[in-house]
Copies of this chain bind each other. A is one copy, B any other.
Amino acid sequence: MDDASPPKWHLAHTTWFFETFVLGAFDASYRPYHERFEYLFNSYYNGVGRPYPRARRGALSRPTVAEIYDYRKHVDESMRALLNAHDETIQDRVALGLHHEQQHQELLVTDLKYNLGNNPLLPAYREDLAGTPGASAKRFPMSFVEHRGGLAEIGAVEGFCFDNEKPRHPVLLQPFELADRLVTNGEYLEFVFDGGYRNPDLWLSEGWSRISNAAGAAGSDDVNGQLPVEARLAPLYWYRDGDSWHEYRLSGASTLNLDAPVVHVSYYEADAFARWRDCRLPTEQEWEIAATGLPVTGNFMDADVLHPLPIQCSLQRGAQHGETPGRLAQLFGDVWEWTSSPYVAYPGFRTLDGTLGEYNGKFMSNQMVLRGGSCATPPGHVRPSYRNFFYPGDKWQFSGIRLARDL
């Protein structure tokens, strides 16, 4: 898949980000480590130059992983002097670079899962993850938490944030209610059994077109009982073996945990599921207002299991905490929650100056906002005002469903 990059590319790209936007911007004596790395490791900044085609990143056998670590070490060392400079502009830029790197830490995990989960061997990322417990607690019944709507404010308040979270501004909401927990695998399986993928009334036109094509592709490629991942009329990484359902996780293939949150669904699937339940998805305004004031805690990427590897994720663990029905649970750190809001500018939105203005603003077409953060998100990276965005057909992120209803 063109959207997924190999680990070493993420490693080089985040290094290049510091080299270009910190060293290149603030250290007049700095010389690029390699004249062609800008072409290879620029992701999408046209202001810097045309990037190497994304779809071919996987074919780059050079530089090697070792050479990229050398590059990284060189840039790290060059950064030291600047970090001690006590210059606020530089420190802000470094902070952006660190948050950028956190985003790529998550992408590295999702891309790696995509690569391994599409390998017919379904290899585990690490063997020692096999025992990682899933959500063992029985899921409590879904109930809905009411909100009166009315005038409120959304947008970043203080601390680090991306440009797309600003400016803070008033919004007007109709009364609504949100489900107190995420939709589970078990609930999604009911949708599958009820013919959810065969009923066009439930689907947006573009979603229906995709699953119609997938059904056709499945017909031709269903070999040895294993569907190609794209063609499954199910969440990504689900597959069926006779009457039982399985999913690929970073610990390898395992039986589908019916109580864990459903994950790796597209916006089209989330939207169709909600319609099947006579519900809808929340808007991003509703989500943010409901989440504001609640603690930003959850199943974030577990620092304990990171060592000695730079990054990993055991997922999907679901919420194993003693959460109380009737309060909003699983808002942060399990799955990114699809909202019904297209990703557009807030009133009065201004991009960052210069090339970094390309960071967020230029993607404001055809994508949908997701909120909350997933188990692959580094701890401390998200906040109630955080706006993630992906195309409505994307399934390789840890994306799930929370239901909403009009009151």
Contacts and interface: CB of A to CB of B under 8 A. Distances in A.
Contacts of A200: 46-47, 358
Interface stretch (A301-309, A326-334, A338-346): A338-346
Nearest to A56: B118
Nearest 3 A-B pairs (CB), nearest first? A216-B220, A219-B219, A46-B200
Which of A60, A119, A170, A171 gathers the greatest number of chain B CB atoms within 10 Å?
A119
A49 B342 CA distance: 30
Contact of A365 (B118, B213, B218, B267): B267
A297 B310 CA distance: 53
A363 B62 contact: no
B344 A342 contact: yes
Interface string A250-280: 0000000000000000011000000000000
Interface residues of A, number: 66
Q: Count identical subunits in the complex.
A: 4
A46 B208 contact: yes
A85 B217 CA distance: 47
Given A170-B172, A206-B366, A365-B267, A59 B116 contact: no
A340 B62 CA distance: 38
Contacts of A50: 223-224
A146 to B, nearest CB: 16
Interface of A: 36, 39-40, 44, 46-47, 49-50, 52, 56, 58-63, 115-116, 118-121, 123, 151, 169-172, 174, 200-201, 203-208, 212-213, 215-221, 223-224, 267-268, 340-342, 344-345, 347-348, 357-358, 362-366, 392, 406
B36 A120 contact: yes
A220 B224 contact: no
21 contacts: A36-B121, A44-B205, A46-B201, A50-B224, A58-B58, A58-B59, A59-B115, A59-B119, A61-B119, A62-B123, A169-B174, A174-B348, A203-B362, A204-B364, A205-B362, A205-B365, A268-B365, A341-B344, A342-B342, A348-B406, A365-B392
B62 A201 contact: no
Given A58-B59, A115-B61, A345-B340, A205 B363 contact: yes
